Amino acid sequence: MLHVIRDMLESAGFEDVEIEDRWWDEGDDEERDTRRPDITAYNPRNRRRYVIDVVGAWAVRAGGEEEGGSRAPGHAASGKERGKQLSYRGAMKRQEDGGHGWLVKGKTQAVDIFMPFGFEVGGALGKKAEELMVEAVQVAEWKNRGVGDLAHWSSVTWGGHWRQRIGVEIARGVARCVEKAATGGWAGSGAGHSRSHEYDRDCC
């Protein structure tokens, strides 16, 4: 999933896209709540760096379930996103206090934007994930404005393509989980205890 989101951001025109940037939230001494985001990316449209952490929700029905019926698609994913926001409170506070490893010199005008990317195994996205998808389309439009031949470029087509790519990757992740349940481990890993932190029920 991380690689698909990274590819989408790069395709849109985000800059300095990195997976698991070890220098983010870097300090002299490791804090107990030090965070290593899944992806960091600079948004040239609003001159802010986006800090992204991906999390999955195991909702049997879209949105999860409650008494009296099912919730709206994305509800469970949005709940996981709120949990991520709480877990990053310490790191974001260190940013506000001027900690190490924050602003991108010569680019960023303000503090980073933390954007948890929540998804449900049925394919629905959380509120923050949807916001990132919208922003990616806006960046792609902004980067393509006045550049080259746009006769065959469409924001609707571009956005739809990446939504399909993300949906396919979610389905693949679920298939890997089913395979693990059937075989007792990830195929080719050689270790039955190996985990995917995006899809593991205990890690999501």
Q: Do the beta carbons of residue 35 and residue 88 sit within 8 Å? A: yes
Give CA–CA dist 18/9, Å, rounded.
10
- Which residue type occupies 35? R
In a domain, 203, yes or no: no
Within-domain flag for 197: no
Average pLDDT of the chain is: 79
Kindly report, residue by residue over 139-161, the tens digit of the pLDDT: 998 887 755 445 556 777 888 99
Residue 169 located in a structural domain: yes
| Residue 203 pLDDT exceeds 50 | no
In a domain, 193, yes or no: no
How many domains does the structure of the chain reveal?
1
176 in a domain, yes or no?
Answer: yes
47-58 per-position pLDDT tens digit: 889 999 999 998
| Lowest-confidence pick of 42-51, 69-78, 126-135 | 69-78
Distance CA 147, CA 117 (A): 30
Would you tell me the crossing angle of helices 127-144 and 75-87 to the nearest 10 degrees? 90
Residue 68 belongs to a domain: yes
